[in-house]
Amino acid sequence: KQEVTQIPAALSVPEGENLVLNCSFTDSAIYNLQWFRQDPGKGLTSLLLIQSSQREQTSGRLNASLDKSSGRSTLYIAASQPGDSATYLCAVISAGGGNKLTFGTGTQLKVEL
């Protein structure tokens, strides 16, 4: 059974700092990995999707990397802003797991002025 873990559970940083969020998964046989952002009381917004054949994806100040063999992904946020404050979730679609996303526990990020 696929398990997804995110570390740290919570993170507080000053504005302007570069930061890294970590995601690990126990079964490396995945089709893809997706990073989401969730604001309080809101739905999930897709940030980046990395297919299993890819090593990284970039969108603006965000860069996500994938090391499938070691079961790890990182989300790098450059020059953080208060508007980046949210919960960040990673999720994987496992081979043999149907088409469902298995979610991590999330990292709650607060960027302070």
Sign of torsion over alpha carbons 14, 48, 91, 101: positive
Let me know if 12 is exposed, middle or buried by CB neighbors in 10 A (0-12, 13-18, 19+). exposed
For the bound state, the minimum distance from the C-beta of residue 84 to another protein, rounded and expressed in Å, comes to 19
For the bound state, the minimum distance from the C-beta of residue 56 to another protein, rounded and expressed in Å, comes to 14
Site for another protein in 51-110 (CB under 8 A): 51, 89, 91, 93, 95, 98-101, 103-106
Strands 10-14 and 107-112: parallel
For the bound state, the minimum distance from the C-beta of residue 91 to another protein, rounded and expressed in Å, comes to 8
Which residues bind to another protein, rule: CB under 8 A?
31-32, 34, 36, 41-46, 49, 51, 89, 91, 93, 95, 98-101, 103-106
